[in-house]
Amino acid sequence: MPRGGANFSSEELVRVLSHYDIGIVHRVKPLTAGNRRAPKVIVTADKGVFLLKRRPRGRDDLERVAFAHAVQQHLAQRSFPVTTLLATTDGQATALSLETHIYEFFRFVAGTRYDGSAEATREAGRQLAMFHKHLADFGVREERSPWCYHDSALVRRHLKLIGSDKRTESARRMQAVAQELLLRYDKSSTRVNELGFASWKRQVVHGDWHPGNLLFSDGKIVAVVDFDSIRVAPPATDLANGMLQFSIIADRPNPAEWPAHFDRDRVLQFFEGYREIIKLSERKRYGLVDLMIETMIAEAVLPVAATGFFGHHSGLEFLEMILRKTKWLRRQRHDLRETMLT
């Protein structure tokens, strides 16, 4: 595990694995991918190779995890590429709760990461559409996660919080960036609302469709590996986030050196892959660029407001980079919209 990240103790592993019928364990190897607060290990045993994950403390309750597992099982029944969840030896649950932690146990799926190719980008868009199509009939009795990055009071509060400190030159620069991001967020939210967002159908969406959550083989997705962020929202919010995640250019360690532009070809390749499966109304297509702006601001501002950093990056440099990229999207809005409307 990376330094500073959560990990398993030997005693914890023995206790957790005793709840699963996998035979004799031969090897346990840490897996460093993903959220450092959610430790993972690859377990090799008599009955196969498995992945054990511990959910971050305090993030989810058992009911929400069970809901995520029900979504995965629904998808598996429709041959969608999800990893197989293992039930505990009593056969009653696929989520194990011990003391204050919740654990998930999966069959391990080997695959490669997203390679940036046109084929893989279209496949990512296509499979997101299949995800939405399979879950269009998935009944939801209550709102499992009311938060959505669109027109969010939470995002606005955090942008204002960032802009409240003026004691240092760095803080004043941060305030100026936060104020400009708030202005852009408000304008994009207004434009999307004017397109009738409130009437768009809501259903279960993935919430975090990005390259790190997909495994490929020969250009095809063989597993979607993270369902921690599923929620109920219009599918267009998922599509816009996917278009953003698969086209953003972050090719240097320092965000201050990231270019303002996106990979325009990948924006459109992802969209075209999605449109092969699901046709979008003109209004929804017209709102995608503004939804991209909203999700990019929302994803950046919450951790920066809480800690002053985005991961290990300077919060100021990261928000300045986000501002540059929102400006590029604004300049490209008309061209991208017209291309997506054809």
Is the pLDDT at 4 greater than 80, yes or no? no
pLDDT tens-digit profile of 100-113?
899 999 999 999 99
Q: Indicate the SS3 state at residue 209.
A: coil
Quick one: 132 and 100 in the same domain?
Answer: no
Structure tokens at 271: 């969209």
* 3-state SS, residue 314: strand
d(CA 89, CA 293): 46
Cα dist from 285 to 86, 136, 145, 150, 204, whole Å: 39, 19, 25, 15, 20
Number of domains in the chain: 2
| SS percent in the chain: helix, strand, coil, step 5 | 45, 15, 35
Q: What is the pLDDT of residue 141?
A: 61
Mark whether 60 and 127 lie in a shared domain: no
Q: Assess whether pLDDT exceeds 90 at residue 169.
A: no
Q: Indicate the SS3 state at residue 2.
A: coil
- Are residue 97 and residue 233 in the same domain, yes or no? no
Q: What percent of the chain has pLDDT over 90?
A: 80
More confident residue, 163 or 159: 159
CB 38 within 8 A of CB 8: no
User: 326 lies in a domain?
Assistant: yes
Residue 5 has pLDDT above 80, yes or no: no
123 in the same domain as 95: no
pLDDT digits (tens, 9 = 90+) for 193-220: 999 999 999 999 999 999 999 999 999 9
More confident residue, 96 or 142: 96
- Give the integer Cα–Cα distance in Å for 132 and 148: 17
- Neighbouring CB atoms inside 10 A of 183's CB total 11
Q: Are residues 79 and 187 in the same domain?
A: no
Average pLDDT over residues 143-152: 80
pLDDT range class, residue 34, cuts 50, 70, 90:
low
* CATH number where 337 lies: 3.90.1200.10
Residue 170 in tokens: 């760095």
pLDDT bracket for residue 36 (50, 70, 90): confident
Mean pLDDT of 239-266: 95
| Residue 136 within any structural domain of the chain | yes
Residue 324 has pLDDT above 90, yes or no: yes
Task: Of 20-34, 75-89, 106-120, 319-333, give the lowest mean pLDDT range.
Answer: 20-34
- The pLDDT tens digits of the residues spanning 275-294 come to 999 999 999 999 999 999 99
Tell me the pLDDT of the chain averaged across its residues. 92
Alpha carbon separation from 272 to 127, 129, 201, 279 (Å, rounded): 12, 10, 21, 10
Residues 165 and 286 in one domain: yes
Residues 141, 74 share a domain: no
Name the domain boundary from 55, 88, 107: 107
CATH number at residue 78: 3.30.200.20
Name the residue among 263, 262, 258 with its Cα closest to residue 321.
Answer: 258
- How many Cβ atoms from other residues are within 10 Å of residue 175's Cβ? 17
pLDDT surpasses 90 at 326:
yes
Same domain, 332 and 211: yes
pLDDT for 146 equals: 67
Is the four-CA dihedral 266, 271, 274, 277 of positive or negative sign?
negative
pLDDT of 89 > 70? The answer is yes
With pLDDT > 70 as the criterion, what percentage of the chain qualifies?
A: 94
122 and 28 within one domain? no
Residues 99 and 248 in one domain: no
Residue 266 shares a structural domain with residue 123: yes
At 2 the pLDDT is: 37
pTM, whole model, 2 decimals? 0.93
Answer whether residue 57 shows pLDDT above 80: no
The two structure tokens encoding residue 182: 């708030």
Mean local confidence (pLDDT), 76-93? 93
**Domain around 144:** 118-341
- pLDDT computed for residue 3 by the predictor: 41
| Vertex 94: Cα angle to 89 and 95 (nearest 5) | 110
Parallel, antiparallel or unpaired: strands 25-31 and 309-310: unpaired
Write the burial class of residue 214 (CB in 10 Å: 0-12 exposed, 13-18 middle, 19+ buried): buried
Are residue 169 and residue 53 in the same domain, yes or no? no
What's the pLDDT score for residue 230? 93
Q: What is the predicted pLDDT for the residue at 1?
A: 30
Which is nearest to 250 in space by CA: 196, 304, 317?
Answer: 317
